[in-house]
Amino acid sequence: MSSEPHPSKPFDIAVVGGGIGGIALTIGLLHNHVPVTLYESAHAFGEIGAGVSFGPNAARAMNLIDPAIEAAFHKVATRNSWESKKDFWFTFRYGQDTKDGSNRVGDVITELDCPPVGQCAVHRAHFLDQMVELLPDGVSRFSKRLEEIEDKGDHVILRFRDGSTAKHSAVVGCDGIKSRTRQILLGNDNPVSHPQYTHTYAYRGLIPMDEAVQLLGEEQACNSQQYLGYDGHLLTFPIEKGKTMNVVAFRTRFDRDWKDDRWVVPMQREDMNNDFAGWVGNVKKILSLMQKPDVWALFDDLPASTYFRGRICVLGDAAHASTPHCGAGAGMAVEDAYVLSSLLAKAQGARDIEDAFRAYDETRRPRSQRLVTCSRETGKLYDFQLDETRDDRERLKQNLNRRLRWIWEENIEEHCAEAIAKFDRLSSERDNKM
C-alpha cells in the first residue's frame, strides 16, 4: 500500500446529528477520504438514555468501519458476569404465574444464545465519549439546530436556528426519532414524518449490584434476565462493569394515550405499583428497590416510502426508529453507517451521490423496516399478546430461539457488497444514457 496520502473526494457531505449513528458515519466517511462536517444541535456531544445493547452484527459493522470503534465499545461494555452465561442474550422467565397454573413465577422459558457477544450493554454517553475521541479536530460544529434544507440540484443549503447557513454537496440526517431532516424529506404534513406512540411505556431505574445479589441471588442479579407476563414484562442486566443492575419494566396500555410533550418524565412510584399490582415474587422485589426511576414513552416510525430524495438522505432513527424489544436499533444505525460510507467511497464525483443514496435506500430500507415491525411484534410476544404463542412455554421457547437470528447472523460484508453492486449498476445505466 502506498504511503502517499489519498486524495480527498471532490464533494463534501453534511452529517446532521452527533449521536452514535452520526459519529459512526462521520468516521466511516473520513476513512474513505470523503470531506465531511458534523452538525450537532447541542453545545456538546451527548446521548439521552442509559443502557444500550449491540448484537454481533453491530460489532462486526463497527469493526468494518474502524476497528477502533469496536475496541471503544468493548472498553466500556458490560457482559454477563458468569463465564457460563457470557454468550447468552437473556434468560427468559415467567414473571407471573400462568392463568392455568402450569407455570410459576421464575420458571425458565429458554436461554437465548447470541455468540460471541451475548448481552453486551454500554451506557450511551460513555460509548459516545469514546467515539468522539476518534474524531479529528475541526470536523464538528455545535449549537447548530437544523431548520430547513434547500436542495439546489447540485448542492444543498442548510439553514440553522441561529441564522447561519452552510453549503454542501449533500446532507445525511442522523438526527434521531424527532428528525427534522425526515420531516423535510417526506413532508411536514405527512403522518409518516412523525413518530407514533406504541401504547407501551417503561419504568427505568438502577439497583446497586450488592443489593440485587442479596435480593435475587447471584445468578439472576449478575446475568441478564427477562420476566414475561400479561401486558407487561421486566428486564434486568448488569452495567458499569457489574457494579449496578439496570432495570426496565414495560407496561402496555391500549386504553391510554401519551399526552405529555416530554417522552421521559419523573416516575410516580404509586403508578408503577398499580401497573404491576398483579405481579409477585422477584419482580415485585426488583421494583421495590429501583433507584433514580423515570418513565419512558415508546414511540416508533411508520414505514417511509424512501430514505432519500435528491441530495437529502436519512440514517438510523431518523430513517427507521423502532421500539427497543429486539435490542437492535442502535446496531441498525451502525450498519447504515457502514453501508452508506462504503457507497460514498465508490463515488467519483458529486454526480454519483444520488446513485449512492439510491443503492443505500434499496438495500437498507427492507432490512431496517423489518426491524421496526419485528420489534413491535416482539413486544407483544413478551407481553403474552401474540396469538401464536400467548403464554405457552414451548411455543414461546421455539419463537424466541429463532426470532432474532436474522438480525444477528446477517453477513454484513455481503450485504454491503450487494449495495455496491446496485450502485455500480445504477452508475452504468446512467452513463449509458449520456
**Residues annotated catalytic, as ranges:** 204
For CA atoms 130, 167, 332, 192, the dihedral sign is: positive
Q: How would you list the strands of the sheet with 165-168, edge to edge? A: 146-151, 156-160, 165-168
The Cα–Cα gap between 377 and 323 comes to: 10
Q: What burial class does residue 250 get, using C-beta atoms within 10 Å of its C-beta: 0-12 exposed, 13-18 middle, 19+ buried?
A: buried
Which 8-state DSSP code applies to residue 78?
B
The Cα 49–Cα 87 span in angstroms is 25
Cell of 155: 448542492
Phi, psi (degrees; rounded to nearest 5) at 225: -135, 150
Lookup: cell for 235: 428486564
Q: Which residues pair with 40 in a beta bridge?
A: none
Closest CA to 301 of 291, 310, 314: 314
Grid cell at residue 299: 414511540
Give the whole-angstrom CA distance, residue 107 versus residue 93.
5
Interatomic CA distance for residues 388 and 399, integer angstroms = 9
SS3 of the chain: helix, strand, coil, percent, to 5: 40, 25, 35
**Integer Cα distance of 425 and 434 in angstroms:** 15
Largest CA distance in the chain: 73
In sequence order, the β-bridge partners of residue 32 are: none
